[in-house]
Structure 1
Amino acid sequence: MTIKPRYWRLILVILSAAYLVPEAIFNAQLVSLIGLGTPKPEQLEHLEIYGRTVSGIGVTLLLADLLPTLFYRTVLRGILTISVVALLAWPTVFFGQKYLVEKLLVQPSTPEQRQFATLSAALRDALAANAVEISGLSYDPSELQSSENLTFLALFGGMTYADHNLADNLEQYKEKIIGNFVQKRAYAQFEQNYQDFGQLYKELSGYYQQYADGSNRYNQTLADIPQREQQYWQQVEQEVNSGWAQYQQAQKAQIAKAEARAQKYGPKIHDYFEAVGKCRERYDKYSERERRDQCITRLDARYKTEVSKAGFGYIEPDYWLIEEDVSTSENILTSIIGGVLTGGIYTGMQAISAATGGDGGFKDKRYKYTDDPEFYRNRFLALPKFQQLFTEQTGYPMGIGELNQFRLHDHTQELLRQKLGAKGLPLANDWQIGDRPGFYRAVAAKVKQDADKQWRSQMAKRGLQLPINLSWPDFQLHPAVQAKIADRMGDLYVDNIRADWSQANFKRYVVEPNIQKRTEQYIAMLKDAEQEFADGGKYAEHGKQALRSVIIPPISMSLSLFLLCMTIIKLPLKIAQLFSAKTPRTNADTEDSNQTPRRIANVPTTVWKVLPLLLLIALPPLLVSNRYTEQSDSPVNYFLGKVEQSGNIVMSYALRWTLHVQPLLHPLGLAFEQHTHIYKNFAPVAHVMAKWDITRQLLDDSDVRQAAEQLVKQQANLTINCNADDATIRIMNIGPRFSQGMRLTPGNYDIQVSAAGYQTYRRWHTVRAGEQQLSITLTPQG
């Protein structure tokens, strides 16, 4: 026979010793949790995931230790062996445990079993709350936290479940037991609940102080509307004055452009007129009229080329002539002088002209040209195209000489509306600067709009939607605030609760109605027909959960306790073998020669290995005392007898064995947890691993249809509001990704909200049927 190399035996011993710590912690947490009554769903999930994880590790180590030496001849082969065993064993144990329990025990259970399990769990919880006394039972509620009491209570549900006549025996006491139980538990938790209620009051009053401060700022903002209107009006005046200055500057620039063109083209225009005059003087005879026309035509062509360079196209030469009025006296004087100088010929020609329809030599106007640059500047300025260019550039015509004229111009009104609109102050399309009341109304609307937007933003950050100026009582009773209170208080919430209630009012309006409500719920559950516990019934899931809470703890506790004891017993033997074992010889001849002595030696060795197991099973009920089983006619022995009568002698002995051994090892697990905090620190891992778990129900097709019909009747649509933008919202205990308005089955959900710059929020929330809105306020990171 060969044995593993010494270093592998040492590694396995160390791993077994290390495994002992988390297994002992699980054992202690199981006893402590179930012994105090039916746990909350999140507590049960944590315990279940942790226990299955540790069990997977334990089975992996067990299988690795049982493998022959062949798998550990080298370091690499040993590492690969353990890795393969872990990859196969751990998932099988982790998922297989739940599958077997659900498939073999929970899902096939009858409505009667589920209803009776509910009664058994209620009786256990009532006993834990000291709401019921069982004659002959040496249960001391003052020592509730003792290991012996916790062990007894953790197993009590399973023991009572074995007595199927118990439901008939307790029929007339159901209401009293349940009423006492609910009342005892409520008053046992009264101080803690009222302390939590006081903390809620502090938080809510802090919220209201922030709310009141926000309301005051809002009111002050509206009160400051006249001052804000004056500030905006100052902007109007600044815009007008600034625009007037810009207009004047643009006009000066336009005049400078005209001046430049006058300097450049004025002399050329003057020269054109001079040249035309010379052509007429040079060719003044009638016979030279063709040469005169040719001379003027050449000058006109040159003029057209030059004047077009100014950028305004062709300008008629007459545009540059100076027009003067000719008075009647001047016409008469000219006629007289002309007549005298021509000996009457001029006068005669005037008479002929008048007789033929002419002007008779009398002119109303006369035209001349000049070389004055100022004249040409003004003529350039008066050009329609020059004026149009200025209007296109500025929006205004040339020549606005007064501020008030500029102020009232239509383009000024349009610019004011545009610029104030860009600054967030919209004005009516027909608003004019003279309409000061309309301007005030626009400012008032703008200020109120901004104040409302700021208010909504602040409320959104706090996850609330509240109107302005609520009083403290109205603030508490507003539906949004009531939703926050309901979220914090859970099942304790009552409609229109006031956070400032005194202790007496809290007892009267919260505790007592809850006692009544819970009592009625329990009694209704236990009195309703059994079919309500069938798949698809309204109590089906509650019945399954009760069944799990009464049958799984005894099984888990016994197995865990047995593994602990076996590990504790085997560790010293393994350590002794580690130091006493010799390296075997591998020579085949040597093995053959020693074959007979080794076989003989193996006989007592085998007995020695089996003996501790036999002693572990047989001795504890004989040597370890337990006050619950000391008297043969005690109720505990009665229930254990009922388990035997049901045909399960092994289960009866396992329960009795656990009652004697568990109180001895329970403190060990508590001590390990106190020093290591393994179970506490496992909570985040449990939430993650819950997502890997088997989330689908192990039902057949008919069960699925019934469950679907029931879910349609009892659904919740959940919307979560958060004060942080781009927040990531996850529901950790279900598989589907969260979306606003998500349809859920009413129940408890582990909700996590995270966002950049904020502390991550994570808490369990109870979601009821119907449209549910949850407001979550993230705390900024310090």
Structure 2
Amino acid sequence: MKIKPRYWRILFVLMSAVYLLPEAIFNAQLVSLIGLGTPKPEQLEHLEIYGRTISGIGVSLLLADLLPARCFRTAMRGVLSLVLLTLVVWPSVFFGQKYLVEKLLVRPSSAEQRQFATLSAALRDALAANAVEISGLNYDPQELHSSENLTFLALFGGMAYGDHNLASNLDQYKERIIANFVQKRAYAQFEQSYQDYGQLYQELSRSYQQYAEGSNRYNQTLADIPKREQGYWQQVEQQINSGWQQYQQAQKAQIAKAEARAQKYGPKIYDYFEAKGKCQKRYDKYSERERRAECITRLDARYKTEVSKAGLGYIEPDYWLIVEDISTTENVTNSAIMGVLTGGIYTAMQALSAATGGDGGFKDKRYKYTDDPDFYREKFLALPKFQALFEQQTGYPYGISQFSDFRIHDHTQVLLRQHFNKQGLTLAENWQIADRQSFYTAVASKVKQEADQRWRNEMAKRGLSLPINLTWQQFQLHPSVQRKIAARMGDLYVDNIHADWNQANFKQYVLEPNIQKRTTQYLAMLKEAEQEFADGGKYAEHGKQALRSVIIPPISMSLSLFLICMTLLKLPLKTAELFIKPSDNASERTKVKRITMTSLKFLPLLLLISLPPLLVHNRYTARSDSPVNYFLGKVTESSNPLFSYALRWTLHVQPLLHPLGLTFEQYSHIYQHFSPLAHALAKLDITQQLLDSSDVRRKAEQLIKQQTTLQVNCDANDAVIRIMNIGPRFQQGMTLKPGNYDIQVTAPGYQTYRSWHTLDAGAQQLSIELTPLG
């Protein structure tokens, strides 16, 4: 017979020993958690994922140990065999456990079984809270956390579930049991609940301090509006002064351009007039008038070409003439002198001209030209086209000489409005610098908008929507803060809870209403018609969860405990096998020894199964007429003796090994540190999808009939819509179940709207009109 190489056998012994550690921790955590009553969903998920993970590892080790020796002939072959086996076995066990339990036990369960499982779980929880006494049961609530008590309570739900007559026997006691149970549990948790409530008060106090500081900053921002306005007005003055300096520089540049043109074109224009005068003198006779006209035409053409080069288009030659006024005295004097010099002929000609409608030789204007560059510079500056270029470049007309005129110019106002619009300060299109009050109003509006936006951003970071300047009392009662408190307190939350209540107020306003509410909910569920626990009923999922909590723990606990015990017993035998030398040709004597050794392997198993109920004392089964033995008998009747014996065996063995797992966890914290991995594995858990795949179409059709879509229309802009009694954030067209919904609508400048609405199946549309403040 071939056996595995020694180093592989040593490795398997070590892996078995290491596996014992997390398996014992799971066993202890299962007992401790279920033994204290129905756990919270997140606790149960953590425990379930951890247990399935460890089970996958355990089964992989078990099957790996059974692989033939040839799979471990070399180190590489052994590693590949282990990897392949784990890749196949671990997912099968991890997903298969839940699938089989759900498929074979939970999903096929009847409404009656689910309702009865709910009662069994409630009775177990009531017993754990010392809210009920069972005659003849040797249960000591003072030793609640003892291993024996926790084991008994963890298994009690399953034992009670085995008695089908229990529901009718307890019918008249249900209300008293549940009321006492809820009250006992609430008061048992009072100190912890009030301590958590005190931490909530501290957190809210810090939040309110931050809120008050934010409100003060907001108020100070509004109080500083005059300073902000003064700062903006300084920008006004700076912009105007800067613009005036730029305008003056532009005027100097304009003068320089005109000077340059005057220096370049002034002499040419002067030469044009000189040459034109020479033409007129040279060809002054009437017979030479054509030659005079040709000469002047050539000069005009050359003038046009030259003056166009200045970039200002064609300029009439007369523009460059100097115009002087001629006085009447000068006209008379000149006429007299000419009359004397011509012997009266000139005077006669004047008379004739006047008689025929002429000017009689009297002129109002005198025209001349010059070569002075200053004259041409001023004429270039006065050109409309030259000034139009200046206004196109600067936006201002040329020639503004006074700062006061520049300050009130329309273009100055346009530039100021553009400057402040870029900064988010909106000024009216007709705003003028003289309107200081409108400027102040615009600054105040901008500052308030900025403060409001900062406030909204801060509130959004904290998931709140609060107005400014709330008192502490208003702060803690605001719906936005109340939602935060409700999320923190969970089931303990009551409407309009105060965060600063003392113990007496907390007991009166929080604890006692919750006791009444939970009692009512429990009784309503237990008294509800059986069909409500069937698939599609409102208590179907709760019934399934109760069924899991009463039937799975006994099964998981027994199997886990059995594996631990087997591992503890097998480790010495596996260690002994390390010293067996492999041999291909064994003698008959050696074979007999091996057969004997193999037979001895089964002896610990038989002893482990049979001896604990006989040798280990347990106060719950010591008396033959004890209620525990009664329930175990009912389990035998309702299911089979094997399951009943497994429960009895667990009752005797579990208290012995429960402290072992607690000790392992105390020093290793494996279960605690598993939490992040549990969340990751829960996301990968496809079991639920597999279970639901066959019912997708039926459930989809059923959901469509039972759903409503909601559209809320509001007349206010920036309205924030919330549904206060559900967790998901409101969205237009969101899908809801028909029922009653607490709808709140808030908007800046409007009173808060809040009211209950009943929504039927199908598309629903609500129109809400808000009332303006003031």
Amino acid at match of 1:630: A
CA–CA distance in 2 between the matches of 1:225 and 1:739? 38
Q: CA deviation at 1:745?
A: 9.3
Flag the 1:405–1:198 CA change in 2: closer, same or farther, 3 A. same
Q: CA deviation at 1:710?
A: 6.3
In the other structure, the counterpart of 1:646 is 638
1:564-575 equivalent positions in 2, closer than 5 A: 564-575=564-575
Contact 1:254 1:390 in 2 (8 A): yes
CA–CA distance in 2 between the matches of 1:714 and 1:512? 35
CA–CA distance in 2 between the matches of 1:679 and 1:710? 38
In the other structure, the counterpart of 2:212 is 212
RMSD: 2.2
Aligned length, in residue pairs: 721
CA–CA distance in 1 between the matches of 2:296 and 2:466? 90
CA–CA distance in 2 between the matches of 1:708 and 1:683? 37
Matched residue of 1:205: which SS?
A: helix
Q: CA deviation at 1:606?
A: 3.1
In the other structure, the counterpart of 1:120 is 120
Amino acid at match of 2:642: V
Q: CA deviation at 1:355?
A: 2.5
CA–CA distance in 2 between the matches of 1:224 and 1:6? 85
Contact 2:532 2:539 in 1 (8 A): yes
Residue 60 (structure 1) aligned with residue 52 (structure 2) = no
Amino acid at match of 2:620: Y
State the TM-score, normalized to the length of structure 1: 0.89
1:434-583 equivalent positions in 2, closer than 5 A: 434-579=434-579, 581-583=580-582
Q: CA deviation at 1:698?
A: 2.7
Give structure 2 stretches of 5+ with no counterpart.
711-727, 739-758, 761-774
Contact 1:536 1:707 in 2 (8 A): no
CA–CA distance in 1 between the matches of 2:310 and 2:731? 71
Q: CA deviation at 1:485?
A: 0.5
Residue 584 (structure 1) aligned with residue 576 (structure 2) = no
In the other structure, the counterpart of 2:676 is 684
Contact 1:538 1:710 in 2 (8 A): no
Q: CA deviation at 1:696?
A: 2.5
Flag the 1:62–1:183 CA change in 2: closer, same or farther, 3 A. same
Amino acid at match of 1:675: Y
In the other structure, the counterpart of 2:741 is none
Q: CA deviation at 1:394?
A: 0.5
Flag the 1:400–1:707 CA change in 2: closer, same or farther, 3 A. closer
Matched residue of 1:633: which SS?
A: coil
In the other structure, the counterpart of 1:732 is none
In the other structure, the counterpart of 1:280 is 280
In the other structure, the counterpart of 2:23 is 23
Cα deviations across residues 394-414 of structure 1 (Å, max 9, x unaligned)? 001111111111111111111
Amino acid at match of 1:76: M
Contact 2:706 2:737 in 1 (8 A): no
Q: CA deviation at 1:78?
A: 1.3
Q: CA deviation at 1:703?
A: 9.0
Cα deviations across residues 694-747 of structure 1 (Å, max 9, x unaligned)? 133735867973686469758999xxxxxxxxxxxxxxxxxx9x999986999x
Flag the 1:715–1:294 CA change in 2: closer, same or farther, 3 A. closer
Matched residue of 1:55: which SS?
A: helix
In the other structure, the counterpart of 2:658 is 666
CA–CA distance in 2 between the matches of 1:673 and 1:745? 44
CA–CA distance in 2 between the matches of 1:310 and 1:707? 86
Amino acid at match of 1:698: L
Residue 147 (structure 1) aligned with residue 147 (structure 2) = yes
Amino acid at match of 1:617: I
CA–CA distance in 1 between the matches of 2:589 and 2:731? 73
Q: CA deviation at 1:524?
A: 0.5
Residue 630 (structure 1) aligned with residue 616 (structure 2) = no
Q: CA deviation at 1:43?
A: 0.5
Matched residue of 1:366: which SS?
A: strand
In the other structure, the counterpart of 1:695 is 688
Deviates more, 1:530-539 or 1:416-425: 416-425
Contact 1:129 1:184 in 2 (8 A): yes
1:713-732 equivalent positions in 2, closer than 5 A: none
Q: CA deviation at 1:638?
A: 0.8
Matched residue of 1:101: which SS?
A: helix
Give structure 1 stretches of 5+ with no counterpart.
718-735, 747-768, 771-782
CA–CA distance in 2 between the matches of 1:606 and 1:577? 11
In the other structure, the counterpart of 2:227 is 227
CA–CA distance in 1 between the matches of 2:599 and 2:708? 61
In the other structure, the counterpart of 1:766 is none
In the other structure, the counterpart of 1:755 is none
Contact 1:244 1:403 in 2 (8 A): yes
From 620, 632, 635, give the equivalent of 2:612.
Answer: 620
Contact 1:107 1:699 in 2 (8 A): no
Cα deviations across residues 566-609 of structure 1 (Å, max 9, x unaligned)? 11001000101102x01213xxxx46xx4x55554444233212
Amino acid at match of 2:261: R
Deviates more, 1:233-242 or 1:630-639: 233-242
In the other structure, the counterpart of 1:656 is 648
Flag the 1:148–1:502 CA change in 2: closer, same or farther, 3 A. same
Q: CA deviation at 1:294?
A: 2.5
Amino acid at match of 2:601: K
Flag the 1:715–1:646 CA change in 2: closer, same or farther, 3 A. farther
In the other structure, the counterpart of 2:770 is none
Flag the 1:315–1:357 CA change in 2: closer, same or farther, 3 A. same
Matched residue of 1:367: which SS?
A: strand
Contact 1:535 1:707 in 2 (8 A): no
Matched residue of 2:366: which SS?
A: strand
In the other structure, the counterpart of 2:600 is 608
Q: CA deviation at 1:301?
A: 2.2
Contact 2:162 2:639 in 1 (8 A): no
Contact 2:709 2:736 in 1 (8 A): yes
Contact 1:476 1:482 in 2 (8 A): yes
Contact 2:27 2:560 in 1 (8 A): yes
State the TM-score, normalized to the length of structure 2: 0.90
Contact 1:52 1:94 in 2 (8 A): yes
Flag the 1:711–1:690 CA change in 2: closer, same or farther, 3 A. farther
Identity of aligned residues (%): 75
In the other structure, the counterpart of 1:726 is none
Flag the 1:429–1:388 CA change in 2: closer, same or farther, 3 A. same
Contact 1:380 1:386 in 2 (8 A): yes
Contact 1:711 1:745 in 2 (8 A): no
Amino acid at match of 1:583: P
Amino acid at match of 1:705: R
Cα deviations across residues 161-210 of structure 1 (Å, max 9, x unaligned)? 00011111111111111111111111111111111111111111111111
In the other structure, the counterpart of 1:350 is 350
Q: CA deviation at 1:508?
A: 0.5
CA–CA distance in 2 between the matches of 1:308 and 1:704? 89
Cα deviations across residues 240-274 of structure 1 (Å, max 9, x unaligned)? 11111111111111011111111121122112212
In the other structure, the counterpart of 1:777 is none
In the other structure, the counterpart of 1:293 is 293
1:205-354 equivalent positions in 2, closer than 5 A: 205-354=205-354
CA–CA distance in 2 between the matches of 1:14 and 1:110? 46
Amino acid at match of 2:252: K
Q: CA deviation at 1:299?
A: 2.1
Q: CA deviation at 1:450?
A: 1.2
1:28-107 equivalent positions in 2, closer than 5 A: 28-107=28-107
Deviates more, 1:145-154 or 1:434-443: 434-443
Matched residue of 1:377: which SS?
A: helix
Contact 1:351 1:360 in 2 (8 A): yes
Q: CA deviation at 1:88?
A: 1.4
In the other structure, the counterpart of 2:363 is 363
Flag the 1:206–1:713 CA change in 2: closer, same or farther, 3 A. farther
